[in-house]
């Protein structure tokens, strides 16, 4: 049963040094507030999983939280590079970060397999790609029925997954809508999960816009819920606020320089309140 | 009467014309997205645009900055999860054409979006594969569009992120359940297609005002030209109007905080 905690307490309880953490949200509903809380609490040696690291992981990597990053597309969408990710990989600042890279299809399948309790995901993927040469977690198997050669990757089973969603009700049920990415899969694949939400409502089923096929994660499948208003800015929350595209462009200059980045983290994360 | 247009517009219009009405197209962000939406707003109103963020049959009014902009979900017929997108819709064989960009491409249409240099000691780290490795093999065919330069058109890609036809042109031979692969490459100078036998890229059409030497100068290998080299038709006034309005709307939308 989901427990309602402050963001501080949820992160303190479930995100330990050395943990494997997935923070998902495909461009939409990226859990920035939770990422900032992890930075504030100074977590170290995390294995960070995310299909698209985005600015959220650029910040965690630059702040020294990451030991390893597992991803499938590591850019600033529509803008360019993630400079903190690149600086860590190319120059080892603030320390060397190990990377393991996949394709989107493989990661999506691996989250799904994790949610399904399977040890591996099978897909018709990586044909002719050199990614299997540099990622020893990509293997090939023969279909026992047809003999077709298929790719196999281990399922993703994080210690903790963190996602952001529009709302939860008093029973801890969570509504996710719009681009739903791999949020549900990430929560169900993880040993523990934290869901940050824009707001708490009494009962999702009595909401005017409730729909029988709405993407609901039941409260009993979630470890902790924390309210984080505007918790996915500068990404967006469908129905609440748009993506701050201007900030995504500004981030390029902020993240390009180590000192500018460090100052930004100090001013906007470290000394900000619990909900930055 | 000749119209006033630049080479970037020529590229987008030519890329857009490659899409036929009614095709289902898995769209990459950037130039492919611009071309695919121009097609939808001109000659191909019923083209079905699908983005990897899960948005099916989307009709954005402005071009998305990211692959998952809210605009894509708001104007989509429906939005599905990312695993469903890749498993049912792409791998399940529902996509006619994948429309991709790239950082590097070689003579056999192999694409590199991973890095420049050596994998363990990269000179430049690029974003990585994203959806491309499986789009390129699971879609019926693949269109590629990018700006023509020696940096992009290289003799040997530093890394094969995404299969064209392999290092030797035979990468799809004998592979079951695989798409045709790249069928055309559209740049700001020309249109290229793979040779039906060897799969090596051949220039089939030069854009107005572009010479063979321009293409040779901008290509990192000894590029071949088709015997029947064609002239790419100029953009129409309507295409240019629609494209310019789309880009102006997009710029206004993304400038606002």
Helix (H, G, I), strand (E, B) or coil at B70: helix
What's the pLDDT band for A268 if we cut at 50, 70, 90?
Answer: very high
Nearest-CA residue of chain A relative to B253? A245
Q: Is the pLDDT of residue A64 over 80?
A: yes
Host H or E run for residue B247: helix B237-255
A43 Cα to chain B: minimum distance (Å): 25
Burial B56-78 (b: 16+ CB within 10 A, else e): bebbbebbbbbbbbbbbbbebee
Q: Among candidates A230, A242, A239, which has minimal Cα distance to B69?
A: A242
- Name the percent of chain A in helix, strand, coil, to the closest 5: 30, 25, 40
User: How many Cβ atoms are within 10 Å of A260's Cβ, its own excluded?
Assistant: 12
Helix (H, G, I), strand (E, B) or coil at B194: strand
- CA-to-CA distance for A67 and B62, rounded, in angstroms? 39
What's the pLDDT band for A274 if we cut at 50, 70, 90?
Answer: low
A144 Cα to chain B: minimum distance (Å): 15
Closest partner CB to A27 (pick from B67, B126, B129): B67
Residue A262 and residue A63 in contact, taking contact as beta carbons nearer than 8 Å: no
Burial A115-154 (b: 16+ CB within 10 A, else e): beeeeebebbbbbbbbbbeebeebeeeeeeeeeeebbbbe
Query: Which of residues 92 through 111 in chain B touch A, CB cutoff 8 A?
Result: 110
pTM for the model stands at 0.96
Contacts of B75 in chain A (CB under 8 A): none
Q: Where in chain A is the domain with CATH 3.40.1080.10?
A: 3-102+160-266
Residue B99 and residue B184 in contact, taking contact as beta carbons nearer than 8 Å: no
Host H or E run for residue A189: helix A183-189
In this complex, is the C-beta atom of B54 within 8 Å of any C-beta atom belonging to chain A? Answer: yes
Looking at the DSSP bridge assignments, the partners of residue B119 are: none
Mean pLDDT over all residues of chain A?
96
Q: Is the pLDDT of residue A22 over 50?
A: yes
**How many Cα atoms within 13 Å fall on the side-chain side of residue A45?**
4
Percent of chain A residues past pLDDT 90, beyond the cut: 92
Tens of pLDDT, residue by residue over A102-152, are 999 999 999 999 999 999 999 999 999 999 999 999 999 999 999 999 999
Cβ neighbors of B74 (< 8 A, separation 6 or more) are none
User: How many Cβ atoms are within 10 Å of B230's Cβ, its own excluded?
Assistant: 12
Contacts of B106 in chain A (CB under 8 A): none
What's the pLDDT band for A276 if we cut at 50, 70, 90?
Answer: very low
Tens of pLDDT, residue by residue over A173-215, are 999 999 999 999 999 999 999 999 999 999 999 988 888 889 8
A130 Cα to chain B: minimum distance (Å): 5
In this complex, is the C-beta atom of B160 within 8 Å of any C-beta atom belonging to chain A? Answer: yes
As a CATH number, domain A3-102+160-266 is 3.40.1080.10
Count of residues in chain A: 276
Cβ neighbors of A130 (< 8 A, separation 6 or more) are B114, B159, B160, B161
In this complex, is the C-beta atom of B252 within 8 Å of any C-beta atom belonging to chain A? Answer: no
Contacts of A103 in chain B (CB under 8 A): 129-134
- Ranges A86-95, A225-234, B216-225: which has the least confidence: A86-95
Burial of B248 (0-12, 13-18, 19+ CB in 10 A): exposed
- CA-to-CA distance for B233 and B211, rounded, in angstroms? 15
In this complex, is the C-beta atom of A27 within 8 Å of any C-beta atom belonging to chain B? Answer: yes
Nearest-CA residue of chain A relative to B77? A178
Q: Which of A61, A71, A104, A236 to mutate to test the interface with B (most CBs of B within 10 A)?
A: A104
Closest partner CB to B53 (pick from A102, A123, A179): A179
Hey, are the CB atoms on B79 and A78 less than 8 Å from each other?
no
Q: Which residue shows structure tokens 């979630």? A: A222
**What is the distance of C-alpha A107 from the center of its chain?**
12
Sign of CA dihedral A104, A108, A111, A116: negative
Contacts of B65 in chain A (CB under 8 A): 77-79, 243, 245, 248
Contacts of A243 in chain B (CB under 8 A): 65-66, 69-70
Hey, are the CB atoms on B171 and A28 less than 8 Å from each other?
no
What's the pLDDT band for A273 if we cut at 50, 70, 90?
Answer: low
Q: What confidence score (pLDDT) does residue A210 get?
A: 86
Hey, are the CB atoms on A101 and B129 less than 8 Å from each other?
yes
- CA-to-CA distance for B108 and B198, rounded, in angstroms? 9
In this complex, is the C-beta atom of A209 within 8 Å of any C-beta atom belonging to chain B? Answer: no
Q: Name the phi and psi angles at B74, rounded to 5.
A: -65, -30
Hey, are the CB atoms on A130 and B128 less than 8 Å from each other?
no
Q: Which of B75, B128, B169 to mutate to test the interface with A (most CBs of A within 10 A)?
A: B128
- CA-to-CA distance for B224 and B226, rounded, in angstroms? 7
Q: Which of B70, B156, B251 to mutate to test the interface with A (most CBs of A within 10 A)?
A: B70
User: How many Cβ atoms are within 10 Å of B40's Cβ, its own excluded?
Assistant: 23
Residue A187 and residue A193 in contact, taking contact as beta carbons nearer than 8 Å: yes
Nearest-CA residue of chain A relative to B170? A128
User: How many Cβ atoms are within 10 Å of B95's Cβ, its own excluded?
Assistant: 21
Contacts of B95 in chain A (CB under 8 A): none
Helices and strands (H and E) in chain A: how many: 9, 15
Residue B61 and residue B250 in contact, taking contact as beta carbons nearer than 8 Å: no
User: How many Cβ atoms are within 10 Å of B2's Cβ, its own excluded?
Assistant: 7
Contacts of B252 in chain A (CB under 8 A): none
Q: What confidence score (pLDDT) does residue B95 get?
A: 98
pLDDT in single tens digits along all 257 residues of chain B: 468 999 999 999 999 999 999 999 999 988 999 999 999 999 999 999 999 999 999 999 999 988 888 899 999 999 999 999 999 999 999 999 999 999 999 999 999 999 999 998 888 999 999 999 999 999 999 999 999 999 999 999 999 999 999 999 999 999 999 999 999 999 999 999 999 999 999 999 999 999 999 999 999 999 999 999 999 999 999 999 999 999 999 998 887 54
Domains defined for chain B, CATH in brackets: 7-248 (3.40.1080.10)
- CA-to-CA distance for B67 and B90, rounded, in angstroms? 16
The catalytic site residues of B sit at 52
In this complex, is the C-beta atom of B68 within 8 Å of any C-beta atom belonging to chain A? Answer: yes
A239 Cα to chain B: minimum distance (Å): 9
Q: Which of A179, A235, A247 to mutate to test the interface with B (most CBs of B within 10 A)?
A: A179
Q: Name the phi and psi angles at A245, rounded to 5.
A: -60, -35
């Amino acid at each position: 049963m989901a427990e309602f905690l402050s963001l501080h307490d949820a992160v303190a309880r479930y995100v330990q040094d050395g943990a494997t953490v997935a923070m998902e949200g495909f461009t939409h509903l990226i859990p920035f507030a939770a990422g900032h809380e992890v930075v504030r609490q100074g977590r170290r040696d995390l294995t960070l999983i995310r299909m698209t690291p985005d600015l959220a992981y650029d910040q965690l990597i630059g702040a020294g939280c990451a030991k390893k990053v597992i991803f499938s597309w590591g850019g600033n969408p529509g803008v360019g590079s993630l400079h903190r990710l690149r600086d860590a990989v190319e120059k080892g600042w603030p320390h060397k970060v190990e990377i393991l890279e996949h394709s989107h299809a493989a990661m999506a399948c691996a989250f799904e397999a994790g949610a399904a309790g399977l040890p591996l995901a099978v897909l018709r993927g990586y044909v002719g790609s050199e990614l299997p040469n540099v990622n020893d977690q990509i293997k090939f198997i023969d279909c026992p029925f047809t003999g077709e050669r298929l790719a196999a990757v281990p399922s993703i089973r994080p210690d903790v997954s963190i996602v952001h969603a529009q709302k939860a009700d008093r029973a801890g049920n969570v509504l996710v809508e719009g681009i739903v990415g791999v949020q549900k899969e990430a929560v169900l694949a993880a040993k523990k999960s934290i869901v940050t939400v824009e707001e708490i409502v009494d009962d999702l089923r009595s909401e005017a816009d409730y729909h029988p096929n709405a993407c609901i994660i039941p409260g009993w499948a979630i470890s902790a819920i924390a309210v984080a208003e505007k918790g996915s800015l500068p990404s967006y929350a469908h129905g609440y606020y748009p993506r701050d595209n201007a900030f995504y462009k500004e981030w390029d200059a902020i993240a390009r320089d180590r000192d500018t980045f460090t100052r930004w983290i100090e001013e906007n994360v470290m000394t900000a309140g619990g909900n930055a | 009467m000749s119209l006033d247009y630049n080479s970037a517009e020529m590229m987008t219009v030519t890329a857009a014309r490659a899409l036929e009405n009614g095709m289902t197209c898995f769209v990459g962000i950037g130039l492919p997205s611009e071309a695919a939406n121009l097609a939808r707003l001109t000659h191909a109103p019923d083209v079905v645009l699908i983005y990897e963020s899960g948005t099916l049959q989307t009709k954005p009014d402005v071009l998305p900055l990211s692959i998952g902009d809210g605009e894509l979900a708001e104007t989509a017929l429906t939005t599905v999860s990312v695993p469903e997108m890749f498993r049912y819709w792409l791998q399940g064989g529902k996509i006619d054409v994948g429309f991709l960009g790239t950082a590097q491409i070689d003579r056999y249409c192999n694409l590199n979006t991973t890095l420049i240099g050596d994998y363990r000691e990269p000179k430049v780290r690029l974003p990585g594969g994203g959806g491309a490795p499986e789009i390129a093999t699971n879609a019926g065919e693949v269109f590629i569009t990018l700006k023509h330069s020696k940096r992009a058109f290289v003799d040997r890609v530093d890394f094969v992120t995404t299969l064209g036809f392999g290092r030797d042109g035979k990468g799809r031979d004998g592979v079951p359940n695989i798409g045709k692969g790249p069928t055309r490459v559209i740049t700001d100078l020309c249109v290229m297609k793979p040779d039906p036998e060897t799969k090596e890229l051949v220039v089939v059409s030069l854009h107005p005002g572009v010479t063979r030497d321009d293409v040779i100068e901008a290509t990192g290998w000894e590029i071949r030209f088709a015997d029947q080299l064609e002239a790419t038709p100029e953009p129409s006034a309507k295409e240019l109007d629609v494209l310019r309005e789309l880009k102006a709307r997009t710029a206004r939308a993304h400038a606002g905080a």
